[in-house]
Structure formats: structure tokens, C-alpha cells
Amino acid sequence: MRIVDVKNVQSDVAKFRKSHVTLSDSIIKKTSDIIRSVEEFGDRALLRYTKEFEGVKLKTLRVSEDEIRTAYEIVTSSQLRSIHTMRKRLMKFESNLLDHLSGIESRFDRIKVTRLLRPIENVGCYVPGGKARYPSTLLMCCTPANVARVKRLVVITPPQRDGSIDPLTLVAADICKVHEVYKIGGAQGIAALAFGTKSIRKVDKIVGPGGIFVTAAKNMVSDRVAIDMVAGPTELLVFADSKSHSRLVALDLISQSEHSSDTLCGVVTTSKRMAMRVKEEINMLIRSKEGVLRRDIITQSLNENGFIAICKGESAAIDFINEFAPEHLEIMTVNAESVVKKIRSAGLILVGNYTPSAASDYCLGSNHVLPTLGFARSRAALSVLDFLKIISCIELTGKNLKKIESCVREITTAEGLFNHYKAVEGRFLK
């Protein structure tokens, strides 16, 4: 990991992000070519790209009911219990939010504006595959959709080398009442959801995290279909002071860096000594006799993207955090609670030694589909809100309309939209 003394917050943060993941011209061109091919050739393109990128020759893209039944025979009872526990906590978390939104009315001058909550009808969820399996991500995407009562819920996910889908992911899909599951990933899968093919009917919105090609594809199709956010690759920033537990910081960095080689994991600290201790702990853990699993991915990720930023004081460190706008932010300082009050931009804030990002990825009830690449400056986690439309419903009487007639006249005249006022005035002319 690089250790850097922060001199200029904006420029230094920009350097860390530029050296990490950017939508380069080559990525944009390749993604664009894939999207055009799927739009033109549909299923043929999807099958071709699955063979090219996943090494799998498929005859059909849709997961069958037999495959789902077989999946139940493979998963263990403890795995099944864990899926239900995660889903129960997510349901409670999202239902609580929905309850607070329901029944909202605004009244003034006897005018009533009611907010109606209506689900998006067709939603596609992207569940990553490749170097790991993510039944947890399926739960994170689909459970809020269930709470919102989305009518048609579609999941796409890359197949394994034998052409199957991870059985626990299929079981999670069945528990979440997913209507269709397809064996397709990458930019080609996003294109299929956006434009539709013979096998896959298009959706109204696409949600879910993915690698850089998925992120690029979501951006490119956003003029044709709604998307949730830029979500991926994974990011973790830990704020540590001179008294932080360096081993715990190192463990958390390693835990997130195992996602993929393009994960971005960093530490911001006011202590040079802590910076050195964290780096030493990471090296010891990786080189220890017991070692770590997925060592190659972790080592590449931390060597290429990992960093420790040393700031001159707490104020500078907080400025760095807010400018960086990390997906996950762990605050492991002595005065963590006071620091939280000063954080304006983070996808998720985790406070103290016993709130690791690894736990939030699974069983806390919070959602792990979070904004990356600095987009935490404008939004936070996926939630039931992403699957709802909030529609205002208004009904006026003649008396109510008369009260605002003069206001409408003044503003429409100022804007030069005279027929807007005529539409109001005409209701009172005899």
C-alpha cells in the first residue's frame, strides 16, 4: 500500500480515484460495442458473449424450475436459516422506512395534496458473479423491491463454468419471489434488460452493483431505462487515529479487497506511526503461516489501489473523507461519535471497533448496494425508495382555485405563457 502525505485534499483525492477505476476510452468503446450488438442481435449476441466471457456454451438463458428445485437439495439448512435471517432484518429495515412515508398529506388554504406511493412495475436486478458468489446481493436488491411490491422482478447473473447458477443464489431468488432468473452478466446483461430480447422482456429500471463494464453499461443505457446509481467496484475508507486498533484496520482492508483486484481500500489518519503499523499488519497477515484465502486478489488489489493518506489534523482528515465520498466509511477513532456529525458524504458510516464493513455486508439490516466513484456525494444506499414512484394527487374546488388565480396570472404573464392563465380564468367566465 502507498503511504502519502496529503498536501491538497482535492488534488490528492483526485489522484487516488484516477489511479483506481476510471471509465477509460477503451472501456467505453468496448462497452458501447457490446450494447449495440445486443440491441441488434438480441439473444444471439447474449449467447455469444456468454461463451466468450464466461467460457460457457448455453442453449437457453432462463433458469428452469427444475434448477431451482435442485438448488434446494444442495444448500444446507444452516445456509437456508441465514438467508431467512438476513431477509427478515432487511424486511424490517425497509418496512419501517415505508411506514413513515405512507399516508403523507399536506394542507394549506384548504388545498390538500396527497402523496401516493406506487411501485415501479418491472425491475431488473444485477447480481455479480465471476470470482465470487453473491446471494447476499440478491437479497439486498430484491428484498426492498418486495417491500415496495414490484410486480415483475427479474434477476440476471453470470453462470458458473458448468453453466449453472450458484444454488444459494437461486434459493435466495425463490425466497424473494423473483419471477425470472437469467444466466447472463456483464454489459451484455445490462443491455438485455434495457432493450429487451426475444427471451428477456425489457424492464423499467435496473439496480445492483457490478464491475467497471457493468457500471459503464448502466451509464450508457440510462437514457433508455432508469438506473439506481453507480455501484461498484467496492470501496472502503477507514478513519484511524493514533489509538486505533491497527490489526482490526488491516483485517477490514483485507476483507473488502478480496472482492476483486479493482477494489479500492484506503486509510485516512493523522498519525504516521499508525500508518506504518497498519501497513506492517497487512504484510504480516498476508505472509503469515496461516496466510489468507484469495491472497492473489487481495495482494493485487492493495498493491495497485490501496493507500494510506496522512493528514495534518482531524479537520483535514474529515475534509479528505467528505471529498473522497467513500462507499463504506469506518470511523475507528477515539471520538468517533463527534466525527460522525461532521461527515456529509459517505454511502454507509460504520462506527467503532465492532462495526466492520464485513458485517454490514450481510446481517445488520442495512443495504450493501451503495454508491461508489464519489457518487456518495449525491445519494446513499439502495432502499425501498428506489422501487417506488411518489405521485402527488390534488383535487381543487372552484373556491380553492379562485384563491390562487391572481398568483397564476402574475407568474404566467411574467413567463409569457398566457394560455396557462386562460385555462384558469376560463373556469370563472360566464
CA separation for the pair 119, 206 (Å, rounded): 14
Q: Could you confirm whether 323 is annotated as catalytic? A: no
> CB within 8 A of 164, min separation 6: which ones?
67
Q: What is the DSSP letter of 151?
A: S
DSSP state of 130: T
Using the structure block, give the residue that is written with the C-alpha cell 448496494: 369
Query: Which residue has 425508495 as its cell numbers?
Result: 385
Return the closest-CA partner of residue 373 out of 291, 294, 419, 305.
305
Helices 272-287 and 246-257 sit at what angle, rounded to 10 degrees?
60
Strand residues in 382-430 grouped as ranges (E):
388-394
Which residue type sits at 421? Y
Single-letter amino acid code for the residue at 110 = R
State the catalytic residue, choosing from 94, 328, 330, 368.
328
Distance CA 129, CA 63 (A): 15
- Give me the catalytic one of 94, 281, 327, 330: 327
Beta bridge partners of 238: 267, 330
Paired strand residues for 235:
264
DSSP 368-387: -----TTGGGT-----GGGG
Instruction: Please report, for residues 138, 152, 189, 278, 346, the alpha-carbon distance to residue 142 in angstroms, rounded to integers and kept in the order given.
Output: 6, 11, 17, 37, 23
Lookup result for grid cell 440476471: 156
Is 368 an annotated catalytic residue? no
ω into 209 cis (within 30 of 0): no
Q: Looking at this protein, which amino acid is placed at residue 75? A: V
State the catalytic residues. 327-328
